[in-house]
């Protein structure tokens, strides 16, 4: 606290001690701000530059310096605004133009699709700079990068070549030119350029990287390795040179050569102060957590400047290996020494979420919420806060934080989490869209492909889901989830012969897995193989005879096979084990319903709703049961409650519309509900019939004619559609068309009841 007070006091003195003359004041403030900037005190520098601008809002030099300070603080938007203002005030200022153009290009490269308009803004800025006599080597270089962004590679090469003739020492021009030549597959020219630059500027490290990539692109691994060796010989104290060669050896499968280089940088803290940290980071990145742990421990045991960072990394690698308790202990130890360490607080919060304890999750949520208030732009922090909300079951609070974190284009973790949430919330269309976005960024992602396939199955897009699952299995034949989903799709499409061996193999490998025993039992039940369906459940029940999930499944299978006595015996056991499980009462009620015991069915549906007021299935089924019993008002009340829980459920929409349509005052609402039901279930004859009957009651004859024509075309053997179509024509005043449709209906040999109705309409039409 004392240190902060001294800095603030010094800053106050610096500002207050300025001259009273405005010109002198702003000049003195500019000089003071520069002094703070050069000492690395960027926040103080930013404050002083802003103070200078209060004296002169057109002080271009202060805007430029403010941009540098904001850039150093990582506040890129504020930096861009300051540089833009400086460039507007002094369009000939090469330094401001260079900083602003670099920022534009940096932002554009983070997401070319999203920020494509920046290329136009950058071109406009460059034209103004050229008009204001900014040195041509700089504007030509920028134009080269603009043309690379627009895929005009030949034009880019031309601009870079002009810029290089004017300023051969500009390293960024060399990089741009080499990159453009490489994209044009003019490899010999790119190679000559980079070799020439390395010979004249042997410390130009990025040139070695580009030349290495160029050789790899052409399959010249020996020359690629040679250029890295040459780089290391030219710069033996370069940490980057050691790590790049170590990476090459790792990719080539030469572990000993890789480890020698890593040991060299880790064992010489005088030459490589960050060596242990860098070696640990390297090992973690390439999937060597045990070696990463060793290097981080070595760094954590020193008193060097990277000690705390190494301890934090050590905690991360322990968590990565599932050793969360050890990781949490390290985070706690760091916070005992320095409670203000935000990274340790963040790590501790994320680790607490992993425990699964309600109390720990509450503590983690509070910690992470407090951190987000201080670091609103930290996407990883927002992701971990969202995970805490998910762990607490609060999906709605998680979504905005995941959406914010997903703004970072390459950060895929929040997108995956969002996809899982959309599936859990029964919003598969959003999950499909999200998975497609991930696959654009990372086409090889098996996880994204599986997410998309799962969501497509939920949207009934079976064909595309099958294509994706087959592609996954070609790449990963042993992917059990893909095998399971494809087999489940086969069951849905009644391709039992294809599905059975796959589900049987998965079941034999893990008979205790619910998804395997449930789907295989449903396959057998669908084919009428009841004994096999029950045996699939009996096997895991022998090992776990009091499993509520297995007993509920067996009771459901028995009920579906109309073996009601067997089902009820299992339900009796279930009520002993889980008397307050709403699902048990709901399934038991359905069993009683199909057995014909409507009173018991009603009692258990009501008990299910007492236990879970949000049980949409029990609400809807009780509403339908009461409707069958003629208790209209109770049924309508429950149908409205069901629609509050599931607003788009076509059965609830249709049945409520049916009841409301019985009275003239309910027709308007009935029409709205029936139209919505038809949108959700256009293939349902019952839903179509409800909508058509409402059209007829409201004398919406054109709409009724259109609907019944479509239905008659889809199912031309159904007399009902033709008789309803005839009634619409009759109400419209077109008896000849009505007679034609009624005669067609009679030719289809309708039921006696329907025939009587048709002949009554025919008499009316012929009068």
Could you give the domains of the chain?
Answer: 425-476 (no CATH), 648-698 (no CATH), 701-767 (1.25.40.10)
pLDDT of the residue at 119: 87
DSSP characters over 39-85: TT-HHHHHHHHHHHHHH-TT-HHHHHHHHHHHHHTT-HHHHHHHHHH
pLDDT at position 7 over 50? no
pLDDT of the residue at 10: 40
Q: How far apart are CA 98 and CA 58, in angstroms?
A: 20
Nearest 5 degrees, angle CA 455-CA 686-CA 700?
110
- What pLDDT band is residue 21 in, cutting at 50, 70 and 90? low
For the chain, give me the number of helices (H) and strands (E)?
A: 44, 0
Q: How far apart are CA 41 and CA 395, in angstroms?
A: 41
Sign, CA dihedral 334-340-345-346, equals negative
DSSP characters over 494-510: T-HHHHHHHHHHHHHH-
pLDDT of the residue at 475: 93
Q: Which residues contact 484 (CB under 8 A, 6 or more apart)?
A: 502, 503, 506, 515, 516, 519
For residue 37, with 0-12 CB atoms within 10 Å meaning exposed, 13-18 middle and 19 or more buried, which class applies?
A: buried
Arithmetic mean of pLDDT over the chain: 89
pLDDT of the residue at 30: 80
- Give the residue, 350 or 22, on which the prediction is more confident: 350
Beta carbons of 44 and 18 less than 8 angstroms apart: no
Q: Which residues contact 673 (CB under 8 A, 6 or more apart)?
A: 653, 654, 656, 657, 660
Q: How far apart are CA 97 and CA 88, in angstroms?
A: 10
Extract the tokens encoding 426: 């029964």
Contacts 24+ apart (CB under 8 A), 560-569: 560/525, 561/525, 561/530, 561/533, 562/594, 563/530, 564/591, 564/594, 564/595, 567/591
Instruction: Give the three-state DSSP class for 661.
Output: coil
* Residue-wise pLDDT tens digits, 482-496: 999 999 999 999 999
Beta carbons of 126 and 143 less than 8 angstroms apart: yes
Beta carbons of 688 and 696 less than 8 angstroms apart: no
pLDDT of the residue at 48: 79
* Ranges 73-77, 389-393, 566-570, 593-597: which has the least confidence: 73-77
- Give the residue, 607 or 95, on which the prediction is more confident: 607
Other C-beta atoms within 10 Å of 133: how many? 11
- What pLDDT band is residue 9 in, cutting at 50, 70 and 90? very low
- Give the residue, 554 or 125, on which the prediction is more confident: 554
Beta carbons of 482 and 476 less than 8 angstroms apart: yes
pLDDT of the residue at 128: 87
Extract the tokens encoding 166: 């004017």
The CA R_g of the chain, rounded to the nearest whole Å, is 36
pLDDT at position 655 over 90? yes
Percent of the chain with pLDDT over 70: 97
pLDDT mean over 699-714: 92
DSSP H or E segment with residue 135: none
Q: How far apart are CA 129 and CA 374, in angstroms?
A: 39
Q: How long a stretch of residues is the chain? A: 767
Among the listed residues 39, 90, 93, 100, the one whose alpha carbon sits nearest the alpha carbon of residue 68: 100
Beta carbons of 45 and 65 less than 8 angstroms apart: yes
- Give the residue, 363 or 33, on which the prediction is more confident: 363
pLDDT mean over 59-67: 81
Region of 488 on the Ramachandran plot (φ > 0 left; ψ -120 to 50 alpha; else beta):
alpha
* Residue-wise pLDDT tens digits, 526-547: 999 999 999 999 999 998 998 9
Cα–Cα distances (Å) from 403 to 110, 400, 430, 602, in that order, read: 17, 5, 12, 44
- Give the residue, 399 or 71, on which the prediction is more confident: 399
pLDDT at position 80 over 80? no
pLDDT mean over 670-692: 93
pLDDT at position 385 over 80? yes
pLDDT of the residue at 407: 85
For residue 180, with 0-12 CB atoms within 10 Å meaning exposed, 13-18 middle and 19 or more buried, which class applies?
A: buried
pLDDT mean over 114-132: 85
pLDDT mean over 342-351: 92
Alpha helices in 342-461 (DSSP H): 342-355, 358-374, 379-391, 395-405, 413-424, 428-441, 446-458
* Residue-wise pLDDT tens digits, 566-583: 999 999 999 999 999 999
Beta carbons of 33 and 52 less than 8 angstroms apart: yes
Which residue do the tokens 């057998």 mark?
524
C-alpha 689 chain-centroid distance: 41
Most confident of 41-55, 87-101, 679-693: 679-693
pLDDT at position 409 over 80? no
Among the listed residues 100, 105, 98, the one whose alpha carbon sits nearest the alpha carbon of residue 82: 100
- What pLDDT band is residue 16 in, cutting at 50, 70 and 90? very low
pLDDT of the residue at 15: 41
pLDDT mean over 322-341: 91
pLDDT mean over 697-702: 94
Percent of the chain with pLDDT over 90: 67
pLDDT at position 508 over 60? yes
- What pLDDT band is residue 314 in, cutting at 50, 70 and 90? very high
* Residue-wise pLDDT tens digits, 221-280: 999 999 999 999 999 999 999 999 999 999 999 999 999 999 999 999 999 999 999 999
* Ranges 91-95, 111-115, 178-182, 509-513: which has the least confidence: 111-115
* Angle, helices 446-458/413-424, rounded to nearest 10 degrees: 20
Beta carbons of 486 and 518 less than 8 angstroms apart: no
């Amino acid at each position: 606290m004392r240190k902060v007070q001294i800095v603030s006091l010094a800053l106050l003195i610096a500002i207050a001690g300025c001259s009273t003359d405005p010109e002198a004041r702003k000049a003195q403030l500019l000089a003071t701000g520069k002094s703070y900037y050069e000492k690395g005190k960027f926040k103080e520098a930013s404050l002083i530059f802003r103070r200078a601008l209060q004296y002169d809002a057109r002080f271009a030099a202060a805007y430029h310096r403010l941009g540098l300070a904001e850039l150093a603080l990582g506040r890129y938007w504020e930096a861009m605004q300051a540089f833009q203002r400086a460039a507007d005030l002094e369009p000939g200022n090469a330094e401001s133009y260079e900083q602003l153009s670099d920022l534009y290009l940096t932002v554009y490269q983070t997401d070319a699709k999203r920020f494509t308009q920046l290329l136009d803004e950058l071109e406009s800025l460059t034209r103004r700079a050229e008009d204001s006599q900014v040195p041509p080597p700089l504007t030509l270089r920028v134009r080269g990068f603009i043309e690379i962004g627009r895929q005009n590679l030949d034009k880019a090469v031309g601009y870079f070549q002009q810029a290089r003739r004017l300023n051969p020492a500009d390293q960024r021009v060399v990089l741009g030119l080499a990159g453009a030549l490489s994209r044009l597959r003019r490899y010999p020219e790119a190679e000559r350029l980079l070799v020439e630059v390395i010979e004249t500027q042997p410390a130009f490290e990025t040139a070695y990287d580009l030349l290495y990539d160029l050789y790899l692109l052409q399959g010249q691994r020996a020359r690629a390795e040679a250029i890295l060796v040459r780089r290391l010989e030219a710069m033996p104290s370069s940490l980057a040179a050691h790590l790049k060669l170590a990476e090459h050896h790792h990719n080539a499968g030469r572990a000993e050569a890789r480890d020698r280089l890593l040991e060299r940088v880790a064992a010489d803290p005088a030459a490589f102060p960050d060596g242990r940290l860098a070696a640990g980071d390297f090992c973690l990145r390439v999937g060597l957590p045990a070696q990463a742990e060793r290097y981080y421990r070595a760094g954590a045991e020193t008193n060097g400047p990277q000690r705390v960072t190494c301890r934090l990394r050590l905690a991360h690698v322990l968590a990565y290996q599932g050793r969360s308790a050890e990781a949490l202990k390290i985070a706690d130890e760091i916070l005992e020494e320095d409670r203000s360490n935000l990274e340790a607080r963040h790590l501790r919060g994320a680790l607490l979420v992993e425990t699964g304890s309600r109390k720990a999750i509450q503590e983690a949520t509070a910690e992470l919420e407090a951190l987000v208030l201080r670091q609103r732009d930290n996407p990883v922090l927002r992701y971990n806060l969202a995970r805490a909300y998910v762990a607490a079951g609060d999906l709605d609070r998680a979504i905005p934080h995941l959406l914010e974190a997903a703004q970072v284009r390459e950060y895929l973790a929040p997108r995956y989490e969002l996809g899982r949430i959309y599936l859990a919330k029964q919003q598969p269309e959003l999950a499909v869209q999200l998975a497609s976005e991930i696959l654009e960024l990372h086409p090889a992602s098996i996880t994204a492909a599986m997410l998309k396939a799962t969501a497509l199955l939920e949207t009934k897009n079976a064909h595309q889901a099958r294509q994706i699952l087959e592609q996954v299995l070609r790449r990963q034949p042993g992917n059990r989830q893909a095998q399971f989903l494809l087999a489940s799709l086969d069951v849905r499409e009644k391709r039992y012969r294809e599905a059975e061996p796959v589900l049987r193999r998965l079941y034999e490998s893990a008979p205790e897995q619910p998804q395997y025993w449930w789907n295989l039992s449903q396959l057998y039940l669908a084919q009428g193989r009841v004994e096999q369906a029950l045996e699939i459940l009996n096997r895991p029940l022998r090992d776990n005879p009091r499993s509520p999930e297995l007993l509920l499944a067996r009771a459901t299978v028995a009920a579906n096979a109309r073996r009601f006595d067997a089902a009820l015996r299992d339900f009796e056991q279930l009520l002993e084990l889980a008397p307050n499980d709403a699902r048990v009462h709901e399934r038991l009620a359905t069993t009683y319903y199909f057995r014909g015991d409507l009173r018991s069915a009603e009692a258990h549906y009501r008990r299910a709703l007492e236990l879970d007021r949000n049980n949409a299935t029990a609400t809807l089924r009780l509403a339908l049961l009461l409707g069958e019993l003629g208790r209209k008002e109770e049924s309508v009340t429950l149908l409205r409650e069901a629609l509050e829980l599931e607003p788009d459920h076509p059965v609830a929409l249709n049945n409520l519309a049916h009841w409301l349509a019985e009275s003239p005052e309910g027709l308007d609402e009935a029409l709205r509900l029936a139209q919505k039901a038809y949108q959700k279930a256009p293939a349902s004859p019952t839903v179509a019939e409800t909508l058509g009957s409402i059209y007829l009651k409201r004398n919406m004859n054109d709409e009724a004619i259109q609907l019944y024509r479509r239905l008659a075309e889809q199912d031309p053997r159904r007399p009902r559609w033709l008789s309803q179509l005839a009634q619409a024509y009759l109400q419209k005043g077109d008896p000849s068309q009505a007679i034609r449709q009624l005669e067609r209906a009679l030719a289809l040999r309708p039921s006696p009841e329907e025939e009587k109705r048709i002949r009554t309409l025919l008499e009316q039409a012929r009068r």
